[in-house]
Each structure stands twice: as structure tokens, then as C-alpha cells.
Structure 1
């Protein structure tokens, strides 16, 4: 923890090791005292603590045994929603996707919307993750299966439609050659 006047701020925890962006020798190294055992009194002074090493901009707690994979997963899950919403915006705006496929891409948001409360329910009532509660996990995955079916059926319909259009469109070039032969 770092004392800034009367404000006592905890050391930031970053889920990646210090060597994530390269060798720590290449980065500027600085240390400050901090950690979970640091106490702050009423005047804002921080007393006793572990030493945290900072390589560049990444704070690293040398006493942290592992990376918390659940927090990384939930953060990536939340951040991945923004690029997907951008994808939906542009694919809708382009009018190039078949209607059923576009519906399938939007239906994926229903899967996400159902998975979040199901995961919370599994954690609260069963004390475990969603993947360990079969009936909840199966229900959520069935929505993902429907999503995949909508996308594939829409693409298949579009491929059949283009194939039928190619077969039904008369070929212009052979007809011109036949007319040239008959006029000559």
C-alpha cells in the first residue's frame, strides 16, 4: 500500500507475471512497500508491509503463488462483448449476411445473457462453477447449439440460393457465339 497524504491506496494487483512483456532485465525496476499485511492508521500512514516489485508498469507481488484464472476469465469475458457488438453492428449495416445467420449471431447474446445468471446460481446454490452443474450447463450449452444451428442453416440457405441463381441464369456468352455462327 502507498500512502498519499491522508489517503491510503492499496497496491494494484495485476494477473500477469513480470516476465509477460519480456525479460525483466529490460524494464525499469522499482520497489515500494505494500501487500495485504500493510495496515493504515487514522492519520493515513501505512505501517509494515511486504515489498512489491514493479517492472515497467506491471506491479508484481513476489509472494503471490499463482495467477487467479477465474478473475482473468471473467475480465476477458466482459471485455470481449465490445468487439462482438461492433461485429454485430457492421454485419447488420452491410446487409450481406443471410437473415437466419444474422439472427443466429444475435441469438448468441441470448446465450450470454442466460449463462451469466446460470453461473451465478451455480456459484451461490452449489458452491461451484457452472461447468460442474450438469443440468444448468446443459441448458446453457443447448442455447449455444441453437446459435450454431441458426448460423449454419442461414449460410447453407444462402449457398443454395446462389447455386440456384447460377443454374437458372442463362449463359450469355454461349448464346452470342451461337448467333455469330448462324449469321456467318
Structure 2
């Protein structure tokens, strides 16, 4: 059977697309190559005709997920960052991680694996620029959860980015934004 001249490129893109969804949904460690390739009707051995390692697939998939995320949200964000915030923190985004932003699932794993990513750097930079004018204004009683979410998020992102100065800046910015209440006299 003869394949078209672009068959290999198309197959590679199919692998990246499926891996991108699975990595966002199940994590890197929770996604095995054998089930991934089987879901695409391909053999595990054929994986190595497209990628030198699972790490290479992780990077290609992260790049694809980042591009998809930025294309989906940033065009409308120029006019309405509120729409991005509302979508990002929606039940739909929470419940469909395979189609959402890769950072919540993959940032922690990349940091734990000791494999920070320049793609994470780019996503953090773009989203940070988009949200630069936002101010945190938790309702009374919500300050603790907002503070905890900010700290967990900052540490997760700081571990995921490859640029050490960007990592330090994330920690410094969130630490500086955290203002504990003065004890009552």
C-alpha cells in the first residue's frame, strides 16, 4: 500500500493532537505510549518513526496545546479580558481539561520532572500581559482561598518555566502581592 507524500506529517500531527488531549486530561505520567498509539490505530513501534522519545512528544504536544489555547482565547481577550477570566475559571474549562489550557495539568508535572519548558515561559508571558491590569478583589471571607490559589499557582508556574529570572519574578510578584492582615491590638 502506497501512502501519500504527506502521510508521515499527517500521522505525526494526529499523534500530537491525541497526545495533547491526553496529557492535559490524564497528565504525562498517566498517558502511556501503547494506549495512545492504539487509540490512533497505530503500533507502539511506529511511534519512534515520528519521535525520538516520549519527552519529544511531550514538548510537541505542549507546543500544540499552548498554540490552541492562545488562538482560542487571545483574539477575544484584546477587547475583553473579563471574557478570558470567566472562561478560564468556568465549570466547562474545569470539566474538560483535554481541551483546555495545558498549564493546570502539565505545569506541576513539568516542574516535578525537572523539565521546565520554554513553551510554558511563552504562555505565562502572554497570559500575564493579558491580565496585567487585573486586580484581585476577593469578597470578604474569600481572601484565604484566593491567597492559597495564588501561592499554589505561583509555585507551580515558577517550577514549570525554564527562564530562571522569570521563575524568580513569579515568586517575587505573588509574594509581594500577599499582604497579611495586621493583628488586632
Q: TM-score, normalised by structure 2?
A: 0.32
Structure in which a larger fraction of residues adopt strand = 1
Larger Rg: 1
Q: Which has the higher contact order (CA 8 A, sep 6+)?
A: 2
Structure in which a larger fraction of residues adopt helix = 2
Q: TM-score, normalised by structure 1?
A: 0.32
